[in-house]
């Protein structure tokens, strides 16, 4: 079937459901956005990685796309339908005539509800990003491990395909492309054993595969994944960190660095993928390189170059460090940790470990659920802090910076977190947030759906304890959180340049 014939199909689809408000074209599809429905047509194209060249192939792939995406967005997908040529020459959906094409039909959502647009408008919220990270984690939990696909050999094939596509699309100069290809190859060589080890541990699964901000929307108020990679099981059966790395890269590209770090941390709160952290710069860089050649191939030279430059920058190595942020309840520890995390190490920034989140997880409740008083018994707190210290040491030992957010009012806890950094052979930095009692109490009273269960009574009890001499950097916590994070970043040498 030639493109002229598909033009007729596009006109037909644009006439349905009250008429198309807009037609969106990508390198492999055309989508007619109508009043209440979206009709997605696959272009009659063939690439090294996909074949949509015949009507039968497009029918099969539409059926496959609809079935696969029901896993991610059953509320959006309405199924696959044939486009038929009727006896009178007219086109119909699922008519009695010859099948000449196929479409995937979806419920329409507002253009403004696409996360790419939400990010452009500055409308992303913490709640959206946290919910999205948890949803991605659930899809990974629900997918069965695949012990046949993935690993270093599969990633080598991905690199080879990406290199060929970069050379053909030319988002940058020849020398720059060859330099990036060589760096990707070296990174893969360095991490091959880790990739294969994670495959053996069941970390390779059938994922979404294309988690850009353009493939996520708000539907009925919830972040919803759609348009998963359907045309190649090999390309979509990947390390789970490679899947979520696409989102982290695209948030960083969009200038939403704090949200990229937030998504990273909430995903790791839900799934302990700490062992895979050394892979993340490589994964994010490769995702950016793939977007670079896709954009360039669609004649979007500026976006192609943007993604290419990002791919080169994202390969910057990270270095381990342990940063402890302490202070009595209400001093703003969690806010400062969140502001500081994107500033440390390579994108998406530092891992943040919070004692309150560990405690809630140990009791099997949501982070904002309130725990009974017995959950704060000395024995429980000892277990929480012990796990926190070990997690910090494990993360830093892998060459990734970690921020540990806890009260740290006891000298033995401050000594223990410094010792954790020592076990990891990583530098240690301690920060103590100072704030007067009145302001701390006011902040506690103003909390809504907060992770911390601290009350003003808890604060009063903390005030009666002897903290001993605190030798950490003391910071005035009455200042703006962004300024506090900048002050900490300026004061300490965290061992790496400011993130790209």
DSSP 41-109: EE-S-EETTEE--SHHHHHHHHHHHHHHHTTT-TTTEEEEEEEEE-TTS-EEES-SSEEEEEEEEEE--
* C-alpha–C-alpha distance, residues 355 and 410, integer Å: 14
Which helix H or strand E contains 250, and what residues bound it?
helix 240-253
Which regions of 98-220 does DSSP assign to beta strands (E)?
A: 98-107, 204-206, 216-219
Q: Average pLDDT in the 103-117 region?
A: 96
Which regions of 143-252 does DSSP assign to beta strands (E)?
A: 204-206, 216-219, 222-225, 237-239
- Does residue 170 come out as left (phi exceeding 0), alpha (psi in the -120 to 50 range) or beta? left
**Can you give the length of the chain in residues?**
500
Tokens linked to 204: 């390779």
Structure confidence by residue, pLDDT tens digits, 268-279: 999 999 999 999
**Lowest mean per-residue pLDDT among 46-60, 345-359, 376-390, 438-452:** 438-452
- For the chain, give the percent of residues with pLDDT over 70: 97
pLDDT at 339: 98
Tokens linked to 180: 């990036």
Does pLDDT of 440 surpass 90? no
Q: Average pLDDT in the 205-234 region?
A: 95
Structure confidence by residue, pLDDT tens digits, 147-172: 999 999 999 999 999 999 999 999 99
**Lowest mean per-residue pLDDT among 18-22, 168-172, 434-438:** 434-438
pLDDT at 439: 86
* C-alpha–C-alpha distance, residues 339 and 352, integer Å: 11
Query: What domains can be seen in the chain, in order of their start residue?
Result: 3-108 (no CATH), 115-314 (3.90.1200.10), 321-491 (3.40.50.300)
Does pLDDT of 47 surpass 80? yes
Q: Average pLDDT in the 181-189 region?
A: 98
- Mean pLDDT, rounded, of the chain: 94
Nearest to 244 by CA among 294, 195, 205, 292: 205
Pairwise pLDDT comparison (436 vs 483), residue with the higher score: 483
Whole-model pTM? 0.93
Q: Average pLDDT in the 79-100 region?
A: 96
Does pLDDT of 3 surpass 60? no
Does pLDDT of 284 surpass 70? yes
Q: Average pLDDT in the 199-203 region?
A: 98
Using an 8 Å Cβ cutoff, are 33 and 25 in contact? Answer: no
Angle at the Cα of 291 from the Cα atoms of 289 and 296, rounded to 5 degrees: 100
Using an 8 Å Cβ cutoff, are 294 and 250 in contact? Answer: no
Half-sphere exposure of 145 toward its Cβ, with a 13 Å CA cutoff? 8
Residue 442 has a CB neighbour count (10 Å cut-off) of 13
- Does residue 106 come out as left (phi exceeding 0), alpha (psi in the -120 to 50 range) or beta? beta
Contacts of 47 (CB under 8 A, 6+ apart): 28
């Amino acid at each position: 079937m030639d493109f002229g014939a598909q033009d007729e199909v596009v006109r037909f689809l644009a006439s349905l459901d009250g008429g198309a408000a807009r037609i969106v074209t990508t390198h492999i599809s055309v989508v007619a956005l109508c009043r209440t429905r979206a009709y997605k047509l696959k272009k009659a194209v063939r690439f090294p990685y996909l074949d949509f060249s015949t009507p039968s192939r497009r029918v099969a792939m539409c059926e496959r796309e609809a079935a696969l995406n029901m896993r991610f967005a059953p509320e959006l997908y309405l199924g696959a339908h044939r486009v038929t040529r009727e006896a009178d020459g007219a086109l119909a959906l699922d008519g009695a005539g010859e099948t000449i094409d196929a479409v995937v039909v979806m419920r329409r959502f507002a253009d403004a509800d696409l996360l790419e647009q939400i990010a452009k408008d500055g409308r992303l919220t913490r709640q959206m990003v946290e919910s999205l990270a948890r949803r991605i984690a659930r899809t990974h939990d629900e997918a069965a491990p695949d012990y046949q696909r993935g690993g270093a050999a599969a990633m080598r094939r991905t690199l080879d395909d990406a290199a060929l596509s970069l050379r053909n699309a030319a988002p940058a100069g020849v020398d720059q492309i060859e330099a990036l290809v060589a760096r990707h190859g070296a990174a893969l060589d360095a991490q091959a054993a880790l990739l294969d080890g994670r495959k053996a541990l069941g970390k390779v699964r059938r994922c979404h595969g294309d988690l850009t901000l353009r493939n996520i929307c708000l539907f009925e108020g919830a972040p919803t994944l759609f348009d998963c990679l359907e045309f190649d099981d090999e390309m979509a059966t990947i390390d789970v960190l490679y899947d979520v790395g696409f989102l982290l890269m695209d948030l960083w590209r969009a200038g939403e660095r704090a949200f990229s770090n937030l998504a990273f941390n909430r995903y790791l709160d839900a799934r302990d993928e700490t062992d895979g952290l050394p892979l993340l710069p490589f994964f994010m860089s490769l995702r950016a390189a793939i977007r670079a050649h896709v954009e360039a191939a669609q004649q979007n030279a500026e976006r192609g170059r943007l993604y290419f430059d990002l791919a080169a920058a994202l390969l910057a190595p990270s270095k381990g460090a342990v940063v402890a942020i302490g202070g009595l309840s209400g001093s703003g520890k969690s806010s400062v940790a969140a502001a500081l995390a994107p500033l440390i190490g390579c994108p998406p920034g530092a891992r943040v470990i919070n004692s309150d989140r560990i405690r809630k997880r140990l009791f099997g409740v949501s982070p904002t659920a309130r725990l009974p008083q017995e959950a704060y018994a000395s024995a429980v707190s000892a277990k929480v802090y012990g796990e926190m210290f070990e997690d910090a040491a494990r993360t830093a030992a892998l060459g990734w910076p970690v921020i540990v957010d806890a009260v740290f009012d006891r000298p033995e806890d401050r000594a223990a977190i410094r010792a954790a950094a020592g076990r990891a052979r990583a530098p240690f930095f301690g920060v103590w947030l100072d704030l007067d009692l009145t302001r701390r109490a006011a902040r506690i009273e103003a909390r809504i759906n907060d992770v911390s269960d601290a009350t003003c009574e808890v604060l009063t009890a903390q005030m009666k304890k002897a903290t001993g001499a605190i030798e950490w950097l003391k910071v005035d916590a009455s200042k703006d959180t962004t300024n506090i994070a900048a002050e900490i970043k300026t004061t300490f040498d965290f061992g790496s340049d400011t993130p790209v």
